[in-house]
């Protein structure tokens, strides 16, 4: 046990599990919402790419000033309502470093000043004097320097309200955004849940199946054994990914269907191992003794043979999880999983389908891929450690 | 051949036939247990009701199940796979053009990774603790845990975007060049896919062969071979490798069916014109005749490979050839 | 024939360095049949293997091994390869794995002839036939695989293989251990007969003291990596000087006595 605790991969796995369970709650919004412009780079690279910026104009602060040393951002959104004490005309003025003053919103004698601007709106573009095909951002951000947005006139009688401004950057977060503007890091954390859930459940199910078949086949022998082993041969002869694809395509792409399908086609290896173990143990002295005492086969199988196989079984489980995770990732990548569920395979599917590599958006490709690989490596390492722990005991004849 | 030998073979062939039958039954029922009208798996749902009625009797869908099965088997054997819903063309037409691409992709990648992996495994076992051995162990871990599409996407990033020297999609350029240049163009398109498969595959080969060779090299007859004054090269390859050959050959042919999955993913990533991508597109597009046919083809290949594995093992290991019982 | 001077061998293990041979000084005279006896772990196999430098890579050797005036320890790889089998050949224990299971007997015997003596394969096979005859095996065995032969037959074939290049010296490492008693006797007699007929020097390692006493004219007793006694068979039996030798002799006597009591 101590040996297990000393391994780095064990702690990495714990880290992944914790991150998967609690990580997403660090974010106060749903992962599906758009947080920034699509294909934003991570914050820590591309320092010459515009970051996102938000600020608010309130009754107290009627102007906002900021430095802008980047190229024009992808988009800007300005929204909000300001209640006036008496109807009057008001406007929002945008001042550029070059000295231009652009009026971007106007209110004519209404009791409240309502603003709802998105940089892509045609009405906005025309109000700036542009055609529907021009980029208003170039006009708003012509050069680097100090920019100001202010409510005008300065003595406007405001009762309450606020105007929010969001400049969409081309940079966001730890790992940027995907083609829908979703935070990749958030998606990555959610992906942990799916991989671990599918991997572990499918493997446990497959192990239960495999152990049952193996025990029965090994202990009963004869015709039962032959039939079961023929079944194993037949299932092994069916090409793996194609049958998974066909089943997923026909039956359904849901998460639980996936788990069941995966387990149906991965129990065979365990069955064989358990069967040979049972065959060798069946002839051993203590089993003969149990039989002489009148123990029923099911008792012998589940109360004695099973515990003997436990160490090897644990190792098999740990080694089987990577293949389940890879299979799930593969099916998701091919598009044969529930599109509403965020998994690493699906992230790679979208990266491929929406041309991540033509835009060089490596942050869409590396995180999910590295995630899958790391988790598989972790389980492989743990499996090998468990095998080592199991082996000397078995070789030495077990605890008896 | 001794009588025992033939007995071994009849068992194996009977086993393969059993598997084939199982696959046929599976294929048959798989596409008919769909929720809803079973007719929609055979006949294009876009046809008019009258056409469907007509085709229903034509396909014998009103016949008892066993007769349907007989007709189904007959059609498969004659390569009559029906018509694709998506393209309206006979499925066999679609498959015909794709099979060579897939075979080339898989065949080349498999051979190259097996050859490279085996060579590295032998060398790594020979010089224990050397640099080569560490490389082999790392590459093996990669083989087992890195998803193939990830490595391929990274390759696409590097060689398709960062250093754009290889094409990133398709088996041929559009429009394809003439004559001998077409072959060169094809190979150029295949470079990235094949390289990715080799990169992913050689690791597990190398580890397997390395482990095998370590065991073999510790045998007494290797010590004796050295004592006989044979040069080290001869001892390594002529004796140690030669003795490890039977399990390597078995592994070679047993691994063959496994690479079919690699075909599906690789062809999807690189948009190649192959059977794997055809299977995927058919499934996603609910084109059941096409999907059924593609799956059937892949299953046949798997069964043939398994039989070939048994055959080759019998050839290479004299203990099997001479009829020893193997169980 | 063979002179060992200050020979020491130790093995590097994960648990540290283990000394297998400690400062051996020993010589094997021409034409003798020498036996090296001792219990497991006494270092006798290591001694034998070191003569042809067949030690594993984790072994560290110091000292000199003079074979007919050549210092074996100073030979380079090429010279070592031509030294092996031509000047000195070997028969291993457990004939189970002396032969490569996937190659025929004939192939494995002939390859030494092809490599060392420049035979063509066809000629080599013909010569191998003669060699098999010498050890009492039929020509059909040339095309057989090792698993088709019994233990005794395999050992005979191994002896035939050892004689191929007519070496002046033959080393045998526990040649009879894995065999039944009758076959043991046959093999040991065969060895004795062949080495005497061809004027070869025989050096045999065994833990079977009675066997060594009956066959060899010179015995060396090893204990914990050192040679503790060298004498003729009668000398060992009647005049054991070292306490360990005495223990060995006494254990045989007590078995004999127990046998004679029944």
Mark whether A347 and A254 lie in a shared domain. Answer: yes
Instruction: Identify which has the larger pLDDT, B232 or B57.
Output: B232
Q: In this predicted structure, what is the pLDDT of residue B45?
A: 62
Does A242 contact B157 at a Cβ distance shorter than 8 Å?
Answer: no
CA-based radius of gyration for chain C: 19
- Report yes or no on A16 lying in a domain: no
Q: In this predicted structure, what is the pLDDT of residue B324?
A: 41
* Closest partner CB to A241 (pick from B33, B156, B261): B261
Instruction: Determine the distance in angstroms separating the CA of A280 from the nearest CA of chain B, rounded to an integer.
Output: 14
Instruction: Determine the distance in angstroms separating the CA of B224 from the nearest CA of chain C, rounded to an integer.
Output: 7
* Closest partner CB to C102 (pick from B228, B234, B242): B242
What confidence tier does B85 reach under pLDDT thresholds 50, 70, 90?
low
Number of structural domains found in chain A? 2
* Closest partner CB to B141 (pick from A250, A368, A380): A380
Instruction: Determine the distance in angstroms separating the CA of A49 from the nearest CA of chain B, rounded to an integer.
Output: 19
B182-240 pLDDT per residue, tens:
788 888 888 888 999 998 888 888 989 999 999 898 888 898 898 888 888 888 998 99
Asked if B112 and B125 touch (Cβ cutoff 8 Å), the reply is: no
* Closest partner CB to B227 (pick from C52, C97, C148): C52
* Closest partner CB to C54 (pick from B223, B242, B319): B223
Q: In this predicted structure, what is the pLDDT of residue A399?
A: 37
Which of B12, B86, B157, B279 to mutate to test binding with chain A, by most A CBs within 10 Å of its CB? B157
Instruction: Report the mean per-residue pLDDT for chain C.
Output: 84
Asked if B16 and B303 touch (Cβ cutoff 8 Å), the reply is: yes
CATH number for the domain including A302? 1.10.3720.10
* CA quadruple B183, B188, B193, B196: dihedral sign: positive
Q: In this predicted structure, what is the pLDDT of residue B315?
A: 66
Q: What do you get for the CA distance between the two ends of chain C, in Å?
A: 45
By three-state DSSP, how is residue A7 classified?
coil
Q: In this predicted structure, what is the pLDDT of residue A203?
A: 93
Whether A348 has a pLDDT exceeding 70, the answer reads yes
A83-129 pLDDT per residue, tens:
888 788 888 888 888 888 888 888 888 888 888 888 888 888 888 88
Q: Which pair of structure tokens corresponds to residue C104?
A: 């025929």
Q: Mean pLDDT throughout A175-194?
A: 87
Mark whether A331 and A375 lie in a shared domain. Answer: yes
Which of B106, B141, B144, B299 to mutate to test binding with chain A, by most A CBs within 10 Å of its CB? B144
Q: Is B223 on the interface with C (CB under 8 A)?
A: yes
Give the residue numbers in C contacting B (CB under 8 Å), as ranges: 52, 54, 57, 77, 80-86, 89-90, 92, 94, 96-103, 111-112, 115-116, 145, 147-148, 161
Sole residue written with tokens 């009688």:
A157
Mark whether A229 and A323 lie in a shared domain. Answer: yes
- Report yes or no on A4 lying in a domain: no
Helix (H) or strand (E) holding B102: helix B91-126
Q: Is A185 on the interface with B (CB under 8 A)?
A: no
DSSP secondary-structure letter at A36? S
Instruction: Determine the distance in angstroms separating the CA of C89 from the nearest CA of chain B, rounded to an integer.
Output: 7
Mark whether A146 and A241 lie in a shared domain. Answer: no
Q: In this predicted structure, what is the pLDDT of residue B313?
A: 66
Mark whether A195 and A337 lie in a shared domain. Answer: yes
Whether A329 has a pLDDT exceeding 90, the answer reads yes
Residue among B179, B203, B201, B176 nearest B263 (CA): B201
Mark whether A202 and A329 lie in a shared domain. Answer: yes
Q: What do you get for the CA distance between the two ends of chain A, in Å?
A: 19
**Domain ranges, residue A64:** 53-168
Which of B140, B150, B200 to mutate to test binding with chain A, by most A CBs within 10 Å of its CB? B150
Asked if B303 and B265 touch (Cβ cutoff 8 Å), the reply is: no
- Report yes or no on A157 lying in a domain: yes
Chain C residue whose CA is closest to B230: C81
**Partners of chain A (3+ Cβ pairs below 8 A):** B
Q: Count CA within 13 A, CB hemisphere, residue B292.
A: 25
Mark whether A99 and A160 lie in a shared domain. Answer: yes
Assigned fold of C2-261: Rossmann fold (3.40.50)
- Report yes or no on A42 lying in a domain: no
**In chain B, which residues have their Cβ closer than 8 Å to the Cβ of A335?**
280, 284
Report yes or no on chains B and C touching (3+ CB pairs under 8 A).
yes
Asked if A176 and A361 touch (Cβ cutoff 8 Å), the reply is: yes
Chain B residue whose CA is closest to C55: B223
Asked if C48 and C173 touch (Cβ cutoff 8 Å), the reply is: yes
The span from the CA of C218 to the CA of B132, in Å, is 48
Instruction: Determine the distance in angstroms separating the CA of A177 from the nearest CA of chain B, rounded to an integer.
Output: 17
- Model ipTM value: 0.85
The listed range with the strongest mean pLDDT (A232-236, C112-116, C184-188) is C112-116
DSSP secondary-structure letter at B326? -
Q: Is B228 on the interface with C (CB under 8 A)?
A: yes
- Report yes or no on A313 lying in a domain: yes
Q: In this predicted structure, what is the pLDDT of residue B4?
A: 52
Mark whether A129 and A100 lie in a shared domain. Answer: yes
Q: In this predicted structure, what is the pLDDT of residue A391?
A: 67
Mark whether A209 and A247 lie in a shared domain. Answer: yes
Report yes or no on chains C and A touching (3+ CB pairs under 8 A).
no
Instruction: Determine the distance in angstroms separating the CA of C81 from the nearest CA of chain B, rounded to an integer.
Output: 4
Mark whether A147 and A251 lie in a shared domain. Answer: no
Whether A304 has a pLDDT exceeding 80, the answer reads no
Instruction: For chains B and C, count residue pairs whose Cβ atoms are closer than 8 Å.
Output: 72
Does C115 contact B229 at a Cβ distance shorter than 8 Å?
Answer: yes
Mark whether A218 and A139 lie in a shared domain. Answer: no
Instruction: Report the mean per-residue pLDDT for chain A.
Output: 83
**In chain A, which residues have their Cβ closer than 8 Å to the Cβ of B33?**
250
CA angle A237, A239, A241 (to 5 degrees): 150
* CA quadruple A216, A217, A219, A220: dihedral sign: positive
Q: In this predicted structure, what is the pLDDT of residue A200?
A: 92
- Report yes or no on A12 lying in a domain: no
Q: In this predicted structure, what is the pLDDT of residue B140?
A: 82
Q: Mean pLDDT throughout C177-187?
A: 82
Chain A residue whose CA is closest to B262: A241
- Report yes or no on A272 lying in a domain: yes
* Closest partner CB to A373 (pick from B30, B150, B268): B150
Residue A262 CB: number of other CB atoms within 10 A? 25
Q: Mean pLDDT throughout A278-296?
A: 78
Instruction: Determine the distance in angstroms separating the CA of B227 from the nearest CA of chain C, rounded to an integer.
Output: 6
- Report yes or no on A34 lying in a domain: no
Residue among A245, A238, A176, A374 nearest B147 (CA): A374
Chain B residue whose CA is closest to A344: B150
CATH number for the domain including A157? 2.60.120
Instruction: Identify which has the larger pLDDT, A359 or B281.
Output: B281
Does B318 contact C145 at a Cβ distance shorter than 8 Å?
Answer: yes
Q: In this predicted structure, what is the pLDDT of residue A371?
A: 92
Cα dihedral value C199, C204, C210, C216, nearest 10: 20
Sole residue written with tokens 């006595």:
C257
Of A168, A203, A226, which one is at a domain's C-terminal end? A168
C-alpha of B251 from chain center: 13
Q: In this predicted structure, what is the pLDDT of residue B116?
A: 93
Q: Count CA within 13 A, CB hemisphere, residue B67.
A: 7
Residue C171 CB: number of other CB atoms within 10 A? 28
**In chain B, which residues have their Cβ closer than 8 Å to the Cβ of A348?**
147, 149-150, 153
The listed range with the strongest mean pLDDT (B118-122, C23-27, C52-56) is B118-122
On the question of a cis peptide bond just before residue C255, with omega within 30 degrees of 0, the verdict is no
Instruction: Determine the distance in angstroms separating the CA of B286 from the nearest CA of chain A, rounded to an integer.
Output: 8
Please give the model's pTM, rounded to 2 decimal places.
0.77
Instruction: Identify which has the larger pLDDT, C201 or C257.
Output: C201
* Closest partner CB to A242 (pick from B156, B286, B295): B295
Label residues A307-346 b or e (16+ Cβ within 10 Å = b).
ebbebbbbbbbbbbbbbbbbbbbbbbbbbbbbeebbbbbb
By three-state DSSP, how is residue A118 classified?
strand
The listed range with the strongest mean pLDDT (A113-117, A273-277, A291-295, B109-113) is B109-113
- Domain boundaries defined on chain C: 2-261
Q: In this predicted structure, what is the pLDDT of residue A205?
A: 93
Cα dihedral value C7, C11, C17, C21, nearest 10: -30
C68-77 pLDDT per residue, tens:
888 888 888 8
């Amino acid at each position: 046990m101590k040996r297990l605790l000393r391994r780095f991969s064990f702690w990495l796995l714990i880290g992944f599990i914790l991150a998967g369970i609690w990580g997403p709650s660090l974010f106060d919004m749903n992962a599906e919402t758009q947080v920034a412009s699509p294909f934003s780079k991570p914050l820590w690279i591309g320092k010459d790419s515009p970051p996102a910026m938000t600020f608010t104009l309130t009754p107290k602060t009627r102007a906002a000033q900021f430095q802008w040393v980047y190229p024009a951002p992808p988009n800007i959104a300005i929204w909000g309502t300001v209640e006036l004490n008496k109807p009057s005309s008001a406007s929002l003025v945008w001042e550029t470093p070059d000295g231009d003053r652009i009026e971007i919103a106007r209110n004519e004698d209404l009791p409240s000043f309502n603003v709802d601007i998105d940089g892509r709106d045609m009405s906005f573009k025309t109000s700036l004097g542009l055609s529907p095909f021009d980029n208003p951002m170039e006009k708003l951000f012509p050069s680097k320097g100090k920019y100001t947005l202010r409510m005008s006139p300065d003595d406007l009688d405001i009762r309450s309200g606020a105007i929010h401004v969001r400049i969409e950057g081309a940079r966001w977060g730890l790992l940027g955004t995907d083609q829908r503007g979703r935070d990749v890091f958030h998606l990555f954390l959610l992906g942990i849940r799916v991989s671990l859930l599918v991997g572990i459940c499918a493997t446990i199910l497959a192990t239960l199946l495999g152990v049952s078949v193996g025990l029965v086949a090994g202990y009963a022998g004869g015709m039962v054994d032959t039939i079961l082993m023929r079944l194993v041969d037949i299932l092994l002869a069916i090409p793996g990914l194609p049958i998974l694809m066909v089943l997923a395509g026909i039956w359904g792409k849901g998460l639980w269907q996936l788990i069941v399908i995966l387990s149906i086609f991965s129990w065979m290896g365990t069955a064989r191992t358990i069967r040979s173990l049972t065959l060798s143990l069946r002839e051993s002295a203590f089993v003969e003794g149990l039989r002489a005492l009148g123990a029923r086969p099911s008792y012998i199988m589940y109360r004695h043979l099973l515990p003997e196989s436990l160490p090897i079984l644990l190792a098999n489980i740990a080694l089987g999880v990577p293949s389940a995770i890879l299979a799930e990732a593969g099916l998701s990548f091919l598009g044969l999983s529930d599109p509403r569920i965020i998994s690493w395979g699906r992230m790679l599917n979208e990266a491929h389908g929406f041309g991540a590599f033509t835009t060089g958006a490596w942050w869409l490709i590396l995180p999910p891929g590295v995630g899958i690989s790391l988790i598989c490596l972790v389980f492989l390492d743990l499996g090998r450690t468990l095998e080592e722990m199991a082996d000397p005991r078995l070789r030495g004849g077990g605890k008896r | 051949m001794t009588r025992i030998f033939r007995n071994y073979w009849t068992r194996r062939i009977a086993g393969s036939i059993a598997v084939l039958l199982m696959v046929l039954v599976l294929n048959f029922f798989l596409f008919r247990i769909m929720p809803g009208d079973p007719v929609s798996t055979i006949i294009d749902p876009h046809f008019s009701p009258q056409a469907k009625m007509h085709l229903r009797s034509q396909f014998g869908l009103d016949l008892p199940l066993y007769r349907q099965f007989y007709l189904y088997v007959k059609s498969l054997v004659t390569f009559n796979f029906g018509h694709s819903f998506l393209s309206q063309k006979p499925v066999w037409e679609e498959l015909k053009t794709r099979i060579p691409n897939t075979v080339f992709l898989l065949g080349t990648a498999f051979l190259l990774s097996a050859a490279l992996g085996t060579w590295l495994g032998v060398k790594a076992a020979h010089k224990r603790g050397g640099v080569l051995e560490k490389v082999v162990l790392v590459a093996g871990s990669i083989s087992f845990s890195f998803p193939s599409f990830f490595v391929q996407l990274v390759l696409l990033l590097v060689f398709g975007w960062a250093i754009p020297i290889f094409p990133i999609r398709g088996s041929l350029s559009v429009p394809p060049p003439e004559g001998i240049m077409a072959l060169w163009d094809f190979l150029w398109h295949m470079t990235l896919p094949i390289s990715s498969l080799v990169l992913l595959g050689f690791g597990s080969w190398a580890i397997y062969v390395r482990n095998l060779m370590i065991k073999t090299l510790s045998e007494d007859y290797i010590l004796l071979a050295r004592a006989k004054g044979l040069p080290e090269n001869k001892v390594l390859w002529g004796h140690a490798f030669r003795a490890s050959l039977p399990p390597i050959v078995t592994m070679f042919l047993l691994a063959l069916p496994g690479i079919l999955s690699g075909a599906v993913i690789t062809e999807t990533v690189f948009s190649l014109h192959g059977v794997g991508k055809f299977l995927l597109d058919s499934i996603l597009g609910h084109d059941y005749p096409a999907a059924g046919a593609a799956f059937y083809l892949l299953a046949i290949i798997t069964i043939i490979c398994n039989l070939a594995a048994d055959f080759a093992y019998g050839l290479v290991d004299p203990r099997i050839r001479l009829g020893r019982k193997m169980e | 024939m063979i002179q060992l001077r200050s020979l020491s061998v130790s093995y590097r293990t994960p648990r540290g360095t283990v000394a297998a041979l400690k400062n051996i000084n020993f010589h094997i005279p021409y034409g003798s049949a020498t036996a090296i006896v001792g219990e497991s772990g006494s270092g006798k196999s290591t001694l034998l293997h070191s003569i042809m430098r067949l030690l594993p890579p984790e072994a560290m050797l110091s000292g000199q091994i003079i074979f007919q005036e050549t210092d074996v320890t100073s030979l380079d790889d090429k010279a070592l390869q031509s030294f092996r089998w031509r000047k000195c050949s070997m028969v291993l224990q457990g004939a189970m794995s002396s032969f490569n299971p996937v190659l025929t007997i004939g192939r494995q015997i002939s390859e030494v002839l092809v490599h060392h003596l420049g035979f063509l394969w066809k000629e080599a096979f013909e010569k191998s036939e003669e060699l098999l005859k010498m050890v009492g095996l039929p020509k059909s065995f040339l095309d057989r695989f090792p698993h088709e032969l019994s233990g005794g037959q395999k050992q005979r074939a191994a002896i035939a293989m050892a004689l191929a290049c007519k070496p002046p010296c033959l080393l045998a490492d526990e040649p009879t251990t894995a065999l039944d008693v009758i076959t043991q006797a046959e093999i040991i007699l065969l060895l004795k007969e062949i080495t005497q007929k061809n004027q070869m020097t025989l050096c045999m390692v065994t833990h079977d003291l009675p066997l060594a006493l009956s066959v060899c004219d010179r015995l060396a007793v090893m204990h914990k990596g050192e040679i503790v006694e060298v004498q003729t068979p009668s000398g060992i039996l009647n005049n054991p000087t070292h306490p360990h030798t005495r223990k060995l002799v006494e254990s045989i006597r007590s078995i004999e006595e127990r046998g004679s009591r029944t």
